[in-house]
Amino acid sequence: MTRRLLSTMIFTALFLQGCATQLTAPANQTASDTATDPESAAEVKKPSRPFAPETLYSLLVAEMAGSRERYDIALGNYIQQAHKTRDPGVAARATRIARYLNARQAALNTSLLWVEISPDDLEAHFIAATELTRSGRLMEAVEHSNYLLQHHSTPIYQSIAAQASKATEPEREELRQSFLQLHEQYPQNTELLIGLGLLYQQQNELEKALEMAGKALDVDEELIPAVILETTILTQLQQPEKAIKRLAQLVNRHPENKRLRLQYARLLASTDLEKAQEQFTLLLEESPNDPELLYSLALICNERGLLDEAEEYFTELTTFERHRSSAHYYLGRIAEKRQLWDQALQNYILVGPGPDFMPAMLQTTDILVRGGQLKAAHKRLNAARDRFPSQAERFYLLEAEVLSRHLNLVDAKNVLTQGLNQFPGSSALLYSRAMVSEQLDMIDVLESDLRSIIQQDPNNATALNALGYTLADRTDRYSEAHDLISQALQLKPDDPAIIDSMGWVQYRLGNMKEALLRLREAMKAFPDHEIAAHLGEVLWMNGEHDEAEKVWAEGMRLEPSSRVIPAVMDRLKSSEASNTTP
């Protein structure tokens, strides 16, 4: 340790006698290539002037702090002295330390200071452009990229354009106009061509984007970013076969190019899972510690039903921090498919906050309720509500959904009432309780809850439709039902569920022609077993029995486990039989 500190101090003493660095970013350098270890050495020039003793001391402290991994102190001292001394070497070192620490604001400030001090330094312009891009100051980044282009270095127009996906439309348009002006001056610059292609893609002008990718490929027919842009746009234009064919040719010519093979594998995943699996397997062999590749391969195997292989990959993925929760979630689903309920629960419990957390809670609750462990399910969800109070409302909805699914309707209603005590006026909880109340034949509660929603939001088409449909289906208040559904239809004229409701209330009002017109329209827009049940019933009551049977058969094909259609068929046929009995 003593020897290390001594060598650090000797190096620092030499370095700090007033160095000025002049490093040019390599032509093929990317936006992240310059984030170096703070211990990295710098090219030393003759000092233009010596440092004051207090400056030398401050920088010595910074270097010693860095050797002890106290990079916060090192960075703070370097930033302070960069501004105080305006020495390009100090500014450069401060910038590199900030980038190594991922201290974005500090990296931006020091890189701009570096450019100000050394306006001819290409590396300073490169890093300034990169940090400005990351901070969303895109037009300023363009200025520094222009300097790089004018001085025969590589600009970062691609990165700037990619970041523009987060910009506003006016900002994106300003950037595009700037690129177009530059393109007139540098028509064969591939950075500009690909940047323009990305901007056109973001504005959904896909043909123009494809044209820009093509122009870049005219300059260099195997330019990887251009190929990736071209194949991505071809896929967006519903031409995946062309994209896959193009990538297959290039992958065969450049089997070592990981980026090409990855794009090829991703495209195959949407058309040919078996071939995609082959490509991801090759990629994983080259990079066995890449969790992204492992995750993709696990998902593909799971989708293909290769549960043993999927389980192996997901299990390996649990050793990585990234995607660990997702891995446990899918391991839980695999265990469920094998009816290994305890193993499934063990995995679901290990799913942390993130996109898979709620699905894992849903599956956990479902397993417990299905097994009759209602108290255990409720206890677990209460704990989740306490742990994540911002998600408490969703947990009430989740619990009620599972209880309803398993026909524990009274418990579901009680849970929703508990939720409404905590979140009075919640439209989601009121609507869910209304739907449960309908199944419990508590139409008064349903009406009260839905009217509460409508009072809060008179233009809530979902609540208007639900109340109107229920009044048409479960009461004789047909005129009132028609008015409510009409309001909903005005708000959402193309909603198949509302069109179905209008057809149903017209049937209740005795308007068979209008009812059939609406129900056929709904069925065409959204083929569904419940709509089929309605359409079949109206056809049957209109004397079109054969047509009704066909519609019901189609509904059962759409939803083989439908309970609605058999119930309607039994009711109508039983009624007809009783009417014909002498």
Taking phi over 0 as left and psi of -120 to 50 as alpha, with beta for the rest, 496 belongs to alpha
- Considering only CA atoms, which of 424, 420, 432 is closest in space to residue 466? 432
DSSP 166: G
pLDDT in tens, 159-210: 999 999 999 999 999 999 999 999 999 999 999 999 999 999 999 999 999 9
- Considering only CA atoms, which of 139, 87, 141 is closest in space to residue 113? 87
Question: CA-CA distance, 58 to 333, in Å (whole number)?
Answer: 58
pLDDT in tens, 355-406: 999 999 999 999 999 999 999 999 999 999 999 999 999 999 999 999 999 9
By CB atoms closer than 10 A (0-12, 13-18, 19+), residue 165 is exposed
Q: What Cα–Cα distance (Å) separates residue 415 from each residue in 3, 55, 370, 446, 546?
A: 68, 67, 17, 16, 45
When comparing pLDDT for 222 and 298, which is higher?
Answer: 298
Instruction: Report pLDDT for 326.
Output: 96
When comparing pLDDT for 535 and 57, which is higher?
Answer: 535
What domains, with CATH codes, occur in the chain?
A: 1-155 (1.25.40.10)
Check pLDDT > 70 for residue 21: no
Check pLDDT > 80 for residue 18: no
**Alpha helices, DSSP H, located in 186-305:** 190-202, 206-219, 224-236, 240-253, 258-268, 273-286, 291-303
Rg of the chain's alpha carbons, rounded to an integer?
33
Check pLDDT > 70 for residue 43: no
SS3 state of residue 49: coil
Question: CA-CA distance, 342 to 563, in Å (whole number)?
Answer: 31
SS3 state of residue 27: coil
* % of residues, the chain, pLDDT over 90: 73
DSSP 390: G
- pLDDT confidence bin for 579, thresholds 50/70/90: low
Check pLDDT > 70 for residue 260: yes
Instruction: Report pLDDT for 33.
Output: 42
* % of residues, the chain, pLDDT over 70: 90
8 A C-beta contact, residue 230 and residue 239 = no
When comparing pLDDT for 212 and 271, which is higher?
Answer: 212
- pLDDT confidence bin for 512, thresholds 50/70/90: very high
DSSP 165: G
Distance, C-alpha 49 to centroid of its chain: 53
Cβ-proximal residues to 41 (8 Å cutoff; 6+ apart), any chain: 11, 15
pLDDT in tens, 66-122: 777 887 888 888 888 888 889 999 999 989 988 998 999 999 999 999 999 999 999
Cβ-proximal residues to 214 (8 Å cutoff; 6+ apart), any chain: 230
First to last CA, the chain: 107
Q: What Cα–Cα distance (Å) separates residue 5 from each residue in 1, 2, 66, 441?
A: 6, 5, 10, 80
8 A C-beta contact, residue 398 and residue 361 = yes
Q: Which two tokens stand for residue 515?
A: 């009812």
The enclosing H or E element of 377 equals: helix 374-387
Distance, C-alpha 283 to centroid of its chain: 24
Question: CA-CA distance, 574 to 394, in Å (whole number)?
Answer: 43
